[in-house]
Amino acid sequence: MKAKLNPAYLSAYAIVLGGAVIMLMPFWFMFVFATHSDTDILSVPPPMWFGDAFLDNMRLLLGRLPYFWHNLGMSFYVAIATTVLNLFFCSLAGYAFAMFEFKYKEYLFAGVLSTMLLPAFLGMIPSVLIMTGLGWMNEPRALIVPAACGAMGVFMMRQFIGSAIPKELLEAARIDGCGEFGIYWRIVVPLITPAFGTLGLITFIGAWNNFMGPLVIMNDMQMYTVPLALRSLSGTGQVPWGAISAGSAVAVLPLLVLFVITSRRLIEGLTAGAVKA
Amino acid sequence: MAHLSLRNLSKRYDNNPPVIENLNLDIHDGEFMVFVGPSGCGKSTLMRMIAGLEEISAGELHIGGELANDTPPAERGVAMVFQSYALYPHMTVGENMGFALKLAGKSKQEVAQAVGRAAEILQISHLLERKPKALSGGQRQRVAIGRAIVRKPKVFLFDEPLSNLDASLRVQMRIELSKLHKELGTTMIYVTHDQVEAMTLGDRIAVFNQGRMEQLGAPLELYERPANQFVAGFLGSPKMNFVPCQLKDASSSEITLSVAGDNRLVLPSSHTIAARGDITLGVRPEHLHIVPLEQGFRARVDLLEHLGDAEIVYLELAGSEQPIAIKLPSGGHGLKQGDLVGLRPDAARAVLFGKQGQAIRLQ
């Protein structure tokens, strides 16, 4: 379709463009500041283009945070484990809610959804008490297990499976000799990869950026995840903005790569079932 | 191959009226049985009960002499072809067809051989590497049938398998299914609402209505000697003409009817008819003839439909405003809209129905 160059179209375009610039600016400054010294960063006007102090900033970061690479590994471990478990359990629950008829199904589903209404902070104290009781404090499983299945994921999977998989497929598999888990594993899972892409990305980002969870669970600096480790820098004398920016840039890179790889699937997954194929 | 025996079979969802009620039916070894009826009559539910996809609320289902009420679908020895094909979209045609054998633990070689044989029968060998989305409707249907053949089932179940195909492909697939049945000799159960499919494919037809089996028999038997008005009206296109009439006189050799006012019709009979008063005369469109006005019932031509090889003439019967359809050979009769003509039914082939719709035997 040929673009219309009328004033209304141009002003709409300008608003969208302005919004995009405002949203991208923090990212831009994070990458730019990662390559400048603290003196340059605090100068007026601040630097707008890349400098050459990235390695100095990284050296400073690693000096202040000797476990930074370990913290990065911990972030990866927690985020990947949470994502894998979420995909598995949410798809299992979503499959059951979408495809099976059982007593009190609607009430159970409403119960699952109602957990979305509770602010995450409300669960903080009980969670710490439970983890202390289990002896899991300061261990990554205290972050992974409670986040292994979320209401949003169950809801998303139920919607996707209900709209994307005809019941006849499951019946055909049942006649072919598939057990119930076999149907899930061999038929349902391969057909819900777009939803896996979407939920996986959302869960990974959530787990990667989680700050409050590690803050109350992790005590040793060695066990910190990246957001918590970087935050710890700002409480010790002069704030090393260049080092924090360098650390943040390193921490955000995996997310950017993941987003670029899965963005098409993310959009597919979010719009799935919106229109009849 | 297997003989199926259904004894007092019922299906009920919660406290709702039964979908199938006390059904008794025997399906012979190697028979092509067609379940036919309007939407919602319970025919598909019955097939799903046989497949094991619906629980049996009451009664017994025997497949090959063994009670199968609680047998899992995969162990019943049945294979089902769905209306929507139900092919696994992420698998190739070959993988779709060999899936059941793979699950049964057969070796790759055995699976490949079985798939190859079935593909040859259905002439889809060149499609084995394709995914279902790259196939036409007809090809998908063949793959779905192939998937059933590969399992070498005791009973094939077809749930309206041709409904999604266009008219010409449906005719072609119908013929191929018929040939397949002759070639394999396996018991086949076929659900359809299309009476042409039912008439052409079935060794026997079971006509269903509101969860009950109205009649069971060979296609021509049902067509010529329907048990009731529902069966008579369901089979045949255009459907049988039903004309309200009065039984005036009945002897052991003939009965006299008063049709649409003063018209008298005498039908041969070898029975003494107990019914009296208001009954219904049923005559198929091809058993009605155009005659000179004074020799038949008066009727006015309302509409003509040209089918190419035949014409359907719709008329209004004088004195009753009853619409009547006649099937005539194409051309030559010179009829046009508004003509007044005489109608004479073929008395030997007319059927009478009592007040409850049940057929009254004349011969």
Question: Residue A196 pLDDT more than 60?
Answer: yes
Residue A273's pLDDT band (boundaries 50, 70, 90)?
very low
Using a CB-CB distance cutoff of 8 angstroms, which residues of chain B are in contact with residue A168?
82-84, 86
The Cβ of residue B130 has, within 10 Å, a number of other Cβ atoms equal to: 15
How much is the pLDDT for A270? Answer: 55
3-state secondary structure A199-252: HHHHHHHHHHHCCHHHHHHCCCHHHCCHHHHHHHHCCCCCCCHHHHHHHHHHHH
Of B168, B44, B146, B166, the residue nearest B94 (C-alpha): B146
Q: What are phi and psi of A274, to 5 degrees?
A: -70, -35
Residue B99's pLDDT band (boundaries 50, 70, 90)?
very high
Who has greater pLDDT, B275 or A204? Answer: A204
Residue range A125-133: mean pLDDT, rounded? 92
How much is the pLDDT for A123? Answer: 83
How much is the pLDDT for B362? Answer: 73
Question: Residue A272 pLDDT more than 60?
Answer: no
The pLDDT tens digits of the residues spanning A109-124 come to 999 999 988 887 888 8
Question: Residue B265 pLDDT more than 70?
Answer: yes
The pLDDT tens digits of the residues spanning A57-67 come to 999 889 888 89
The pLDDT tens digits of the residues spanning B196-242 come to 999 999 999 999 999 999 999 999 999 999 999 999 999 988 899 99
Question: Residue A238 pLDDT more than 90?
Answer: no
Mean pLDDT score of chain A, rounded to an integer? 89
A81 vs A145: CA distance, rounded Å: 9
The interface pTM score, or ipTM, of the predicted complex is: 0.84
Of A32, A38, A36, A25, the residue nearest A233 (C-alpha): A38
Which residues of chain B are at the A interface, by a Cβ-Cβ cutoff of 8 Å? 51-53, 72-74, 78-80, 82-84, 86-90, 99-100, 103-104, 147, 151
Question: Residue A274 pLDDT more than 50?
Answer: no
Residue A3's pLDDT band (boundaries 50, 70, 90)?
low
Question: Residue A125 pLDDT more than 80?
Answer: yes
Mean pLDDT score of chain B, rounded to an integer? 90
Question: Residue A277 pLDDT more than 70?
Answer: no
Pick the CATH number of A66-271 from 3.30.450.30, 3.40.190.150, 3.30.420.140, 1.10.3720.10: 1.10.3720.10
Instruction: Report domain extents, chain A.
Output: 66-271
- The pairing of strands B32-36 and B187-192 is parallel
The pLDDT tens digits of the residues spanning B310-344 come to 899 999 988 777 789 999 888 777 888 888 999 88
How much is the pLDDT for A271? Answer: 53
Residue in B78, B83, B89 closest to A175 by CB? B78
How much is the pLDDT for B257? Answer: 84
Question: Residue A97 pLDDT more than 70?
Answer: yes
Residue range A63-72: mean pLDDT, rounded? 91
How much is the pLDDT for A255? Answer: 84
Using a CB-CB distance cutoff of 8 angstroms, which residues of chain A are in contact with residue B78?
175
Residue A266's pLDDT band (boundaries 50, 70, 90)?
low
How much is the pLDDT for A269? Answer: 55
Question: Residue B247 pLDDT more than 60?
Answer: yes
CB B113 within 8 A of CB B102: no
> How far off is chain A from B260, nearest CA to CA, in Å?
51
How much is the pLDDT for A81? Answer: 97
Residue range B40-58: mean pLDDT, rounded? 94
Residue range B5-11: mean pLDDT, rounded? 95
How much is the pLDDT for A91? Answer: 97
List all residues 6 or more positions away from B291 whose beta carbon is below 8 Å from its beta carbon. B341, B342, B343, B344
Query: With pLDDT > 70 as the criterion, what percentage of chain A qualifies?
Result: 93
Residue range A43-49: mean pLDDT, rounded? 89
Residue A268's pLDDT band (boundaries 50, 70, 90)?
low
Which residues of chain A are at the B interface, by a Cβ-Cβ cutoff of 8 Å? 166, 168-169, 171-178, 182, 187, 190-191
Using a CB-CB distance cutoff of 8 angstroms, which residues of chain B are in contact with residue A178?
74, 103
How much is the pLDDT for B1? Answer: 62
Q: Domains in chain B, please, with CATH? A: 4-234 (3.40.50.300), 241-360 (2.40.50.140)
Instruction: Give the position of tokens 């010294």.
Output: A37
Q: Is B103 close to A177, i.e. CB distance below 8 A?
A: yes
Using a CB-CB distance cutoff of 8 angstroms, which residues of chain B are in contact with residue A177?
74, 100, 103-104
